[in-house]
Every structure is written in structure tokens, then in C-alpha cells.
Amino acid sequence: ISNLAQDQTNNISNIIVLVVASIVAANLNPTVYIVVMLTLIPSFYYQIKYGSEKWHIWAENSPRQREYSTIRSHAMGRVSVVQVKLLQAKDIILKKIRDILIAFRQDQLKVDTARLWSLSLSDFVVASGFAYSFYLIVQDVNSGLVGIGELVFLVSVLGQFIGAMNSFLSGLAGQYEEGLFAIDIFNFLD
């Protein structure tokens, strides 16, 4: 819940930067602004998708989590340790814990690998959009519509805009993921 609140606070500052950079970028070259906005959509989609998949690993496997928690607490208590020693169950308990942790790790690894490829592809789309936008700006400079000073200024504004938009969309995706976990907490409390 504290992570959710922190993401909301960070998004407020990102919104301020976004509004200012959007106004400047849209006034200087609306086509470039639209191209950059469109190229950021895949990144946002994949971040939301990953947040949901990560939550599902932990939410859908709650019986496995409960089993792990029970076994772990049994292996760590003083009385439980004596029982484990007397029953000579150390190997069985350690194997169960190891199996559960390996299963969680494999599930997480699958999601993280898919996320890596997806975000790499979306980063390529963002870079391509920025490159195409830069090309459009250079064309305006070559045709005399924009001066060199405006070129430097616009590229700087676009860089700030892309950074702020990425931070904002990452923050929204983080809020979505944290919100899924917070809903579970509130459902439990209710």
C-alpha cells in the first residue's frame, strides 16, 4: 500500500513535466508530438501486462504460498526444530521448501523473460519513433521552417517529454500492479 501511495506521488510530478513538455512539443510540431505519443503505447501495454502476470503468480498460487509459509515456520521455531530432529524429517522439509521455491522461481523467470523481450521490442519502437521524429525536425530545418536553435530546443523538449511519459506510464503500470496486491489486502480486511 505504501508503494501504491509512493507511485501516486511520483506520478503527480511526472504529470506536471508532461503537461509543460506536451504544450511546448505540440505547439512546435504537432506531427512529431503525435508520433512520439503513439510509439509509447506498446511500452505501457507490456508494463501493464507484466504487472498483471506477476500478481497472478503470487495470487493464483496462494495454496503453494501457504504450504511454504507453514513449512518454513515449522522449520524455524525452537519446538518445531526439535520435532524435526526427533522425526528425522529435515531432508523431507528442505526438499519441500526447495521444490516450492524452484516452482516460484520458474514461474517468475518465464514472466521476466517474456517481459524482457516485450520491453526490448517496445523500447525499439520508442527509439524508432524518436528517430523518425528527429528526421521530421531535420527536414523542417532543411526546408527553412525551423532554425537550428529551435531544433536543439525541440529535441531537448522531446527527450524530456519521452522520459516523463515513460516515467508516468511506468508509474501507472506500477500503480496497477500494486493496486492488485492492495485489493487482496482490503478484501482480507473486509
Cβ-based neighbour number of residue 162 at 10 Å:
21
Average pLDDT over residues 116-143: 86
Q: What is the phi/psi pair of residue 75, to 5°?
A: -80, -15
**Contact indicator for 118, 49 with CB cutoff of 8 Å:** yes
pTM of the model: 0.62
Q: Where are the alpha helices (DSSP H) in 77-89?
A: 78-87
Q: Per-residue pLDDT for 120 more than 80?
A: yes
Q: Which residue has the higher pLDDT, 91 or 89?
A: 91
* Per-residue exposure over 98-129, b if at least 16 CB sit within 10 Å of its own CB, e if not: eebeeebeebeeebeeebeebeeebeebbeeb
Rounded Cα distance between 145 and 121, Å, is 33
Across all residues in the chain, what is the average pLDDT?
A: 79
Cα gap 13→160, rounded to integer Å: 13
- The pLDDT value given to residue 74: 67
